[in-house]
Each structure stands twice: as C-alpha cells, then as structure tokens.
Amino acid sequence: MIKIKEFKDKEKLEQPLLVSNIIQGVTTKGSPYLSITFQDKSGQIEGKLWDVKPDQLQLIKQGMILLVSFEVLNYREQLQLKIFDVKGMDQSTVMIDDFLPESNVSSEELQVSINKFIDEIKNPVYHTLVKSIVDEVGYDFYVYPAASKNHHEYKGGLGSHVVSMILLAKEVIRLYPLLDHDLLISGVILHDIGKTIELSGPILTEYTTAGRLLGHISIINSMIYHHACNHNLDKKEETMLLQHCVLSHHGQYDFGSPVLPLIPEAEVLHLIDNIDARMNMFGKVLDNIEEGSFTPRVFSLENRSIYKKKV
C-alpha cells in the first residue's frame, strides 16, 4: 500500500483509506458531490467524488476504512484525489491504528521520559501536584494528540510536545539562572494536560462538550486547585505560581489566556510552547514538497508560503 505522502501526480490507485471528514455539496447543475478527507499514518489528502449515488452516500461515513479507487491530480500546486469508486470493507478485518498518524516515539518511551523529568522536580509542592495530576490522567497523557489540527495532531502528540518543550526549557534555564527549574518544568508538564478532557482522543480528534464549554486552560487550572486542596497545598505560593503559568501560557488575551505572563517562568513557558508548536508545523508542511519550491499558503503560519531550501 502506497502512503499518502508518497502519492504522485497522475497515479491511478486502489487501496484502503480512512475517512476523516466529509462535506456534502451540490454542483451548479444540481448534482450532489462529496469532498472527502482521507488519511493514513503519513498524513491526509482531500478527494472529490462527483455524481454521488444514494448507495455511496450510505456507505461513506466518518471513521470508516474504505477501498478507494482514484487518480491523483495536481490542483493549484496541491495534490488531491479524483475518486472513481468506493467499496465497503469488513471493519473487523482492518486495524484503525494502521491509519492514524502517530509520534515517532512510542507511548511507553514518552511515559518513561516524562516520569524521569517529574522525578527531577525537587520542590515538594510542585512535585506533589504534578505527580498527582499526571497519575490521575494516566495513560491518556501519552497517547492523546496536542491539538485537533495544526500541530502535534497525532497519537502521542501531547507527550511528544511536552518532552520537546522540556528539552528546550532546560537549555533556557542553563542560559538564564534566574529561572526556577522546578516551576518551569512543572508548568511545561501540566500546561496542556487539560487536552485529555478538551479533546476526544487520538482517533478522529474532535472537541468534547467540556472542551468547547470550558477549554483546556480552565480545565487544568481547576485540576491544580482540586489536587492542591486534596494535599492541603491550596494556600501555598507555589500553587498560585503554577496556576499563573498555565493560565498565561497562550501569552495574549486574544489567544485565550485570561492573564498575561507576569513572572519569568510564565513568559518562557509561553515562548517555548510557541517555538515547539511552530517548528512542528514547519516540519509538517515542508515534509511533502520538493527542495527549491514553496508550499501552498499555510493558514496556521499567517497564510505564508514556506520555502524548502535546496540541500
């Protein structure tokens, strides 16, 4: 089976693909069509099915793995599929995990790494709060994505994002000794852990009701307060500082933070969060284009076309 990232213009193929999104439309002549987003481990691609038949409408559902017959076309410098036909498959014979993008580091390795970083936190208040919250969240922390789209939006993305940020944080701490290691590392580990409630999981990730109504920033702030109360740490300054770091980590009111970073650790948390997210986006968009060419405009990167330099 050829991976989506390896598709080439004018190829004609028939192979299983996972349906991750469907948009139904009508042409100017009144004929129904479907715009379908397919995915496998290597990425996603959009396809068009024209003159949709009623039985095809019944068959094509989000989350289904279908046998798709198609031609790959280059449209406005981006590959898409012209779909000839789709056939149902016995879903019990296919593994959905085979079609889910995932971190290049296993969930088990992420768990070992993050637990090691937790053990390095010496301040008893920070250590107690972080370990207590991570233990409550459990294995979800290592398999959830960090977002539904844009960056680290794959199985294990949340843990991968946290590990990369910790490595960045350690370098910044080395350069700027005024930073409190335990506070910054604790903020990194917890800043996005509310996404295990905000998002539905690694399979066809969507926002949950709690995610849409509360958001991950409010969720983790509440978790910190709840665990602090359970351990009689709610009056400690460390608890308040840790809450401030997670509340301000988006850096601006317009981006969802209810407060702005007012301590050095909160400022650095915001900056390294942005660095790691954006480098992940750059890597993703550059991965699928040839050297010496520009990507299509990338909405999440200020609608810029990104250039891939020649090696």
pLDDT tens digits for 242-283? 999 999 999 999 999 999 999 999 999 999 999 999 999 999
What is the bridge-based pairing of β-strands 32-40 and 307-308?
unpaired
Q: 158 pLDDT exceeds 90?
A: yes
DSSP structure string for 136-203: HHTTHHHHS-S-SSSSS-SBTHHHHHHHHHHHHHHHHHHH-TTS-HHHHHHHHHHTTTTHHHHB--SS
Q: 288 pLDDT exceeds 80?
A: no
| pLDDT confidence band for 29 (50 / 70 / 90) | confident
| pLDDT confidence band for 78 (50 / 70 / 90) | confident
pLDDT for residue 10: 94
Average pLDDT over residues 87-99: 87
Average pLDDT over residues 28-56: 90
| pLDDT confidence band for 86 (50 / 70 / 90) | very high
pLDDT tens digits for 2-14? 999 899 999 999 9
HSE-up (13 A, CA, CB side) for residue 109: 8
Q: 290 pLDDT exceeds 90?
A: no
Q: 28 pLDDT exceeds 90?
A: no
Question: What distance in Å separates the CA atoms of residue 209 and residue 227, rounded to the nearest whole number?
Answer: 23
Q: Where are the domains of the chain?
A: 4-98, 102-284
Q: From residue 15, how far is each of 61, 70, 89 by CA, in Å?
A: 17, 9, 11
Q: What is the mean pLDDT of the chain?
A: 94
Most confident of 88-92, 184-188, 203-207: 184-188
pLDDT for residue 150: 84
| pLDDT confidence band for 284 (50 / 70 / 90) | confident
| pLDDT confidence band for 42 (50 / 70 / 90) | confident
Burial grade of 14 (CB within 10 A; 0-12, 13-18, 19 or more) = exposed
| pLDDT confidence band for 232 (50 / 70 / 90) | very high
Q: 77 pLDDT exceeds 80?
A: no
**28 contacts 98 by C-beta, under 8 angstroms:** no
| pLDDT confidence band for 88 (50 / 70 / 90) | very high
Average pLDDT over residues 52-77: 91
CATH class of 4-98: mainly beta
pLDDT tens digits for 195-228? 999 999 988 889 999 999 999 999 999 999 999 9
| pLDDT confidence band for 43 (50 / 70 / 90) | confident
**76 contacts 131 by C-beta, under 8 angstroms:** no
Question: What distance in Å separates the CA atoms of residue 76 and residue 296, rounded to the nearest whole number?
Answer: 8
